[in-house]
């Protein structure tokens, strides 16, 4: 594998919702109520996000195609409530929003826009999508408090980012798509 191919393999284009500072602080306060096992780690607050869709990063042409397709997605105001948390079998701990028709509609619109670009298989199902924000990793046997006080989250935009994985994991903001009134 050549150097350019390795660099692309360590990146992905992610479309997601990013909580503001107040929601990040509320999630952090919730995390302080857990018992965490040795070796766990938290993503930094600015990287917390709810993934709506993910596309393999294959270079600048794909990014441009995706930017234009996402500009056509209607973004309506969303008032989400994060009201549950748990640890999944893959040792990732998450917070999840209450079921929200507008969030499902936004997800479906984004999936449709990506499919229309040819970047995703047309037959790929979206039924298995579980909206969540990853709050910690390597959390086998983490113990959460009995309840999550509801965290209100007013979503104002979705974003397209390039996620760089590897030794220096970071998110590169590519575009913002604000809500339409």
Sequence-distant (≥ 6) Cβ neighbours of residue 41 within 8 angstroms? 136, 137, 138
In 48-71, which positions are buried (b, 16+ CB within 10 angstroms) versus exposed (e)? Answer: bbbbbbebebeeeebbeebeebbe
pTM of the model: 0.88
Quickly state the pLDDT bin for 6 (edges 50, 70, 90).
Answer: very low
Contact 157, 75 (CB under 8 A): yes
Instruction: Examine the pLDDT at 181 and tell me if it is beyond 80.
Output: no
Tens of pLDDT, residue by residue over 59-103, are 888 889 999 999 999 988 899 999 999 999 999 999 999 999 999
How confident is the model at residue 7, as a pLDDT? Answer: 44
How confident is the model at residue 10, as a pLDDT? Answer: 67
Quickly state the pLDDT bin for 168 (edges 50, 70, 90).
Answer: low
Q: Which domain range does residue 110 map to?
A: 3-178
Contact 151, 21 (CB under 8 A): no
CATH number of the domain where residue 69 is located = 3.90.1140.10
How confident is the model at residue 148, as a pLDDT? Answer: 84
Counting the structural domains of the chain, the total is 1
- Helix or strand holding residue 141 (H, E): none
How confident is the model at residue 123, as a pLDDT? Answer: 46
Please list the alpha-helical segments (H only) found in the chain: 3-9, 21-31, 60-71, 101-117
Q: Please state the rounded mean pLDDT for residues 154-172.
A: 86
Question: Which tokens sit at 136?
Answer: 């910690």
How confident is the model at residue 27, as a pLDDT? Answer: 97
How confident is the model at residue 80, as a pLDDT? Answer: 98
How confident is the model at residue 77, as a pLDDT? Answer: 87
Tens of pLDDT, residue by residue over 12-61, are 999 999 999 999 999 999 999 999 999 999 999 999 999 999 988 888 88
């Amino acid at each position: 594998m050549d150097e350019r191919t390795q660099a692309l393999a360590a990146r992905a284009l992610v479309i997601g919702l990013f909580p503001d500072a107040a929601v990040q602080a509320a999630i952090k306060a919730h995390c302080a109520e857990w018992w965490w096992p040795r070796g766990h780690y938290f993503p930094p607050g600015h990287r917390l996000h709810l993934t709506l869709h993910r596309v393999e990063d294959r270079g600048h042409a794909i990014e441009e195609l995706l930017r234009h397709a996402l500009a056509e997605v209607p973004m309506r105001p969303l008032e989400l409530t994060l009201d549950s948390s748990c640890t999944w079998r893959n040792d990732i701990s998450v917070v999840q929003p209450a079921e929200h028709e507008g969030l499902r509609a936004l997800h479906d619109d984004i999936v449709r826009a990506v499919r229309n670009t040819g970047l995703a298989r047309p037959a790929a199902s979206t039924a298995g999508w579980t909206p969540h924000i990853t709050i910690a990793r390597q959390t086998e046997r983490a113990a959460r408090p009995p309840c999550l006080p509801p965290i209100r989250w007013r979503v104002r935009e979705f974003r397209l980012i390039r996620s760089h994985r590897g030794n220096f994991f970071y998110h590169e903001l590519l575009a913002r798509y604000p809500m339409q009134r």
